[in-house]
């Protein structure tokens, strides 16, 4: 990007301009990448720590993934949103908008529950490697819902990431938390795989909502969706916590927590904050770059988490896990390269269009 050119946000429906210098734009991108990588990695490790120290409430583990959503109100009120001309089509009704938020929020709560079950029965490294399949699912759902074209590189990414998950599924030596049987490992594997698929479906449905219903993707609109869907997911998780009766066991769970009561509270609090720091990074990258780029960076962080899990929890990185991680990185790299080629095509088309306009003006 030339020094005198303004950074742009490209998405399916709009091109937004931010009045920032080149180095400021890159600094903002780097900061949001840091928030996403650090937040997601810390949240996964803290979630695994919660279970490792005696935590057993799946609904509590689900609740903390969205409970700190009020943090998102800070950038919502402090940062200015980009203005864009109103479209010719009438805006959607409030009922339709909130219906979308409600449905997506319920799906997010279900997705978080599947992730919680997966993290309960799997090691942090295995969990993260399975979550890397979300790129493959994203490609499939984008093809059917968002009309994204399949290319050889995307197909290669789908196949490689699927092979990576399959190797973990059939690996008898896959390490898991102590006391976890093979049947529970399978439940954890299937839950995490289902959560990855549902997360990718949610991304495609959100993109469809922006394109077909909201018909814009400004910072305020993206952040509103994040806040309202998190609110609905938090309410649904709270209802699940009380309806399941797990809230009755929380006091005894706190007393029996391996590192003590204070550590129990701090673990849940920091887990909630970490997930929302991750959300700030996700929303920031959607606003500054694109939703696709945000998803790719999110998947990349899953390749880093196994390394952190080895350092923090001393997870075993056997030969199969190492091969799976290399396959995940390969699949991720091919997906990134395809998007790099797509970006080059977009820039070339814009350059040709600008050249045509300049010739016409002459």
| Unique residue bearing structure tokens 């400021």 | 24
pLDDT of 83 strictly over 60: no
Q: Which of 89-93, 148-152, 224-228, 291-295 has the highest mean pLDDT?
A: 224-228
Residue 217 near residue 11, CB atoms below 8 Å: yes
β-strands 8-10, 15-17: how paired?
antiparallel
Instruction: Render pLDDT for 279-292 as a digit per residue (tens, 0 to 9).
Output: 888 877 777 776 66
Host H or E run for residue 9: strand 8-10
**Letter string b/e over residues 87-109, b meaning 16 or more CB atoms within 10 A of that residue's CB:** eeeeeeeeeebeebbbebbebbb
pLDDT in tens, 222-242: 788 889 999 999 999 999 999
In three-state secondary structure terms, 17 is: strand
Nearest to 113 by CA among 64, 59, 185, 40: 59
pLDDT at residue 12 tops 50: no
* Region 236-252 average pLDDT: 94
Per-residue tokens: 289: 């770059």
Residue that wins the pLDDT comparison between 193 and 304: 193
- Which tokens in the block code for residue 342? 């797509």
- Per domain, the residue ranges of the chain are 8-80+91-354
Rounded to the nearest integer, the mean pLDDT of the chain is: 81
pLDDT at 356 over 70: yes
Strands annotated E in 96-202: none
pLDDT one-digit tens code per residue, 58-77: 999 999 999 999 988 887 77
Terminal-residue alpha carbon distance, the chain: 26
Average pLDDT over residues 182-186: 88
């Amino acid at each position: 990007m030339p020094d005198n050119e303004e950074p742009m946000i490209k998405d399916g429906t709009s091109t937004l301009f931010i009045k920032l210098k080149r180095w400021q734009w890159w600094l903002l991108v780097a900061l949001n990448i840091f928030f996403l990588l650090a937040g997601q990695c810390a949240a996964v490790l803290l979630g695994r720590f919660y279970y490792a120290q005696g935590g057993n409430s799946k609904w509590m583990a689900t609740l903390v993934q969205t409970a700190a959503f009020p943090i998102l109100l800070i950038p919502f009120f402090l940062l200015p949103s980009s203005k864009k001309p109103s479209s010719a089509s009438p805006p959607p009704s409030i009922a339709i908008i909130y219906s979308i938020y409600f449905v997506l929020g319920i799906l997010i709560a279900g997705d978080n529950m599947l992730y919680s079950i997966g993290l309960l029965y799997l090691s942090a490294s295995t969990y993260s490697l399975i979550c890397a399949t979300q790129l493959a699912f994203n490609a499939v759902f984008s093809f059917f819902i968002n009309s994204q074209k399949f290319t050889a590189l995307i197909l290669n990414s789908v196949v490689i990431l699927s092979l990576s998950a399959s190797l973990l599924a059939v690996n008898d030596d896959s390490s898991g938390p102590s006391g976890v049987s093979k049947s529970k490992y399978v439940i954890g594997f299937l839950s995490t795989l289902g959560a990855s698929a549902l997360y990718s479906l949610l991304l495609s449905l959100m993109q469809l909502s922006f394109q077909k219903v909201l018909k814009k993707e400004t910072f305020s609109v993206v952040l509103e969706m994040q806040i309202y869907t998190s609110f609905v997911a938090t309410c649904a998780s709270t209802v699940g916590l009380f309806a399941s009766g797990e809230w009755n066991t929380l006091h005894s769970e706190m007393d029996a927590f391996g590192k003590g009561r204070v550590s129990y509270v701090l673990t849940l609090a920091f887990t909630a904050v970490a997930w929302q720091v991750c959300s700030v990074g996700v929303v920031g990258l959607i606003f500054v770059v694109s939703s696709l780029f945000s998803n790719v960076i999110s998947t990349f962080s899953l390749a880093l988490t196994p390394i952190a899990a080895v350092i923090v929890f001393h997870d075993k990185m056997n030969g199969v896990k190492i091969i799976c991680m290399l396959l995940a990185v390969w699949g991720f790299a091919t997906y990134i390269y395809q998007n790099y080629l797509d970006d080059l095509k977009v820039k070339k088309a814009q350059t040709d269009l600008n050249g045509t306009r300049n010739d016409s003006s002459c």
